[in-house]
Amino acid sequence: MRYLVTGATAFAGCHLVQYLLGEGHEVWATSRRTNGSETDVLDLLLPEEFEKVNWVFCDLVNKKSCFEALKQAKFDGIFHLAAQSHPPTGFKLPFYTQEVNVGGTLNLLEAVATLQPETHFMFCSTSEVYGAPHLKGNEKISEDYPLKPINPYASSKAMIDLFFQERIRNGFLKGFITRAFSHTGPKRGKIFSISCDAYQIAMILEGKQSPVVKVGNLKARRAVMDVRDCLRAYYKLMSKKSTGVFNAAADEAHEIGYFLDTMLDMYGLQGKVKKEIEPKFLRPIDIPIQVPDASKLKSEVGWKCEIPIQKTLRDLVEYWRGKIRNENI
């Protein structure tokens, strides 16, 4: 199969490219820069894997570049992961976030509808579209839960989520929507909470930071899965040519502080490191709890999380230690 991955130089996209190559597929990947910066993925991909990727320029906010990218080859499937995906940045740059996530995706979808309407398309939405739900008892967030975004990033995703549902329902496009809940792992940017903690722990372990970890809201509860489990869900849905909306999530939710404590325990740092609140790490509006229901996904393709969170966290800390030692941060 021939697949196109947008956002391939970023966190989940890079892992997806590696996985698709491992499954023997022909992989094309977009980059919105022309300075060779796609080599950034070499902190995850092996050189021989990198050489197998067909890189194509595509700046989503430029409609012409979207059309030109889709003229390069006929694709069996498109995984659309490219986005401005950092909620705090969405508050700072709300109009830019809409331009990229809404306008850019509309440009890409128009190119698909015009040039390759039979291509199966995956839109990567987010659990953030559900907002801050008031869950009762054992209630979980299913795909039927109302969309009530509370930040600019979430609202941008909700717009396309609803639009693409309509396009699929009325037969104008083919594909599915994923609403992934929290996921982390190697290559996760340190602007995100758990990876930020892992980076600081790595700095402490490498003797480059005093034993203090700056933290945000440690009380928010999240069900966190490994990014490699998350992208397997994407792949399984694409392979089956599924249609509809699917949550992807770990089964159990924990306070964010649990993940930090797990890493501190793992490296013998518990009780030796001070935690300090950093105001800039606190969101203007936060989601206190997310308890997801991914049963629809499990029923559709037989998916489940396979990677223990302890391995995920260790891999994340070791990823940062490697970059720090190479001064590649």
Separation of alpha carbons 142 and 144, rounded Å: 5
Domain annotation covers residue 240: yes
Find the CATH number of the domain harbouring 84.
Answer: 3.40.50.720
Give residue 34's pLDDT: 64
Domain annotation covers residue 213: no
Domain annotation covers residue 263: no
Domain annotation covers residue 323: no
Percent of the chain clearing pLDDT 70 (strictly above): 98
Tens-digit pLDDT profile for residues 147-199: 999 999 999 999 999 999 999 999 999 999 999 999 999 999 999 999 999 99
Q: Are 5 and 29 in contact (CB under 8 A)?
A: yes
Nearest CA to 138 out of 252, 217, 303 is that of 252
Judged against a pLDDT cut of 70, whether residue 255 lies above it is answered with yes
Pairing of strands 221-222, 254-255: antiparallel
Judged against a pLDDT cut of 90, whether residue 286 lies above it is answered with no
Distances in whole angstroms, Cα of residue 150 to Cα of each of 171, 252, 309: 30, 23, 28
Tens-digit pLDDT profile for residues 67-78: 999 999 999 999
Domain tally, the chain: 1
Strand partners, 246: 178
What are the strands, taking DSSP E only, across the chain?
Answer: 2-6, 26-31, 54-57, 77-80, 120-124, 174-180, 183-184, 212-215, 221-222, 225-226, 244-248, 254-255, 274-277
What is the residue range of 298's domain?
Answer: 2-185+225-249+291-306
| Secondary structure (DSSP) of 15-74 | HHHHHHHHTT-EEEEEES-SSSGGGGGGGTS-HHHHTT-EEEE--TT-HHHHHHHHTS--
Tens-digit pLDDT profile for residues 237-246: 999 999 999 9
Q: What pTM was computed for the model?
A: 0.94
Judged against a pLDDT cut of 80, whether residue 328 lies above it is answered with no
Domain annotation covers residue 220: no
Domain annotation covers residue 316: no
Domain annotation covers residue 121: yes
Tens-digit pLDDT profile for residues 93-121: 999 999 999 999 999 999 999 999 999 99
Domain annotation covers residue 94: yes
